[in-house]
Structure 1
C-alpha cells in the first residue's frame, strides 16, 4: 500500500475500501484505552488501599462460601507466588507489556479495541505500580492481593482486568469479520507510512 492509498482509504492488496486514515481515527482507540486504563487503575489501587487497611494477613472473610473470599497477602512473585525471588523481572515485563499495549492502541482504531486494550493496560499498570512503590524497595515491591478464589489463588482487581481484557481480545479476534481485520491492519500500516513520509 502506498502512502496516497493509505490516506484515501484504499487497500491495494485487498481492494477493500476502509475509512480514511487521519490523526483522529488512528488515535481514537488510544484515547479510549487510556480512559479505561485510568478508571481501572483507580479502581485497582483504591480497592488495594481499602484491603490493606481493613484486612489482616491470615484473616479470611467469606463472600461466597469457600469459593470466593477476602484474604490479604503481599505477593513478591506472579500467580501462585511463582518467581518470588525474581521480582525485578516481573517489573521489567510489566513495563514492556504496558508499552506494547500503548503502541497497539495507537495503531488501531475503534471503541472496542480501545476498551479491550484499556482493560489490559489498566491491569498491567495496576500491578506495576505496586512493584514500583510497595516495600521492600523500588522495582521489587510486593503486589497487594486480596481476592481468594477457593484455595487456588489470591489475586486483585488488576488481575481481573487483565484476564477480562485478554478474554475479550481473543473473542474479538475469533468473531470479527476478516474484512474488518484487514481494514484495521491497512489503517495501521497507512498510519505508519504517513508518519514516515512526514518524518522525511
Structure 2
C-alpha cells in the first residue's frame, strides 16, 4: 500500500465508523424490537492470513460477504453467531415458537440482517467522507471452503465492530475490508477531511 495509516487517520476512521455503525445498530434495534449494543470500533491492517485468524472459531458463526465498488472497492464480511441466530430470525419473521423455519427462510433472514448492518455501516461511512459506492447483495460464505484469495489483497484496511442483541444471545461482527486502491482513496479523503 502506498499510503500510511497515521494515528490521526485511525482516530478519524473510528469516529466516522462509530457514527455509521450507530445508525446500523438503530436499524437492527427497530427491526428486531430489541436493544442493540455495539463495541468501540477498531481499525487494523491485515493480510489475508491475519484476516482469517480474526474470524476466530469458524464453527461458531455464519458468514456473509458483500462486495462494494465505485470510488473505492472492497468487501464487507459479516459474522453472525449461530447461538441466538434462529431465535432472532424467528422474532424478525414474527413466528411462534412452535412454527418451523426451513433452512432457506433462515438463511434469507441472516442475509437480510447482514444487508441491513453492512449497508447502513458502509453507506454511513461513505456519506461522511463523500465517496460514492454501490454494493452487491450479500451471499452466504464459508471461510473454511473459500479462503480470502491472496491475490485479491496483499494487505487490507479492516474496520470492525460488534453488534450484540443480549436478549437473544446474538452477536454480529461487521468487517469492512478495503482493497489496496480503496485504502489509498480512504486515506486521501481522510487527509482532505483532517
Please give the range of the TM-score, normalised by the shorter of the 2 chains: under 0.3
Name the TM-score, length of structure 1 as normaliser: 0.25
Q: Per chain length, whose mean CA-contact separation is higher, i.e. which structure has more relative contact order (CA < 8 Å, sep 6+)?
A: 2
Name the TM-score, length of structure 2 as normaliser: 0.26
**More strand as a share of residues:** 2
**More helix as a share of residues:** 1
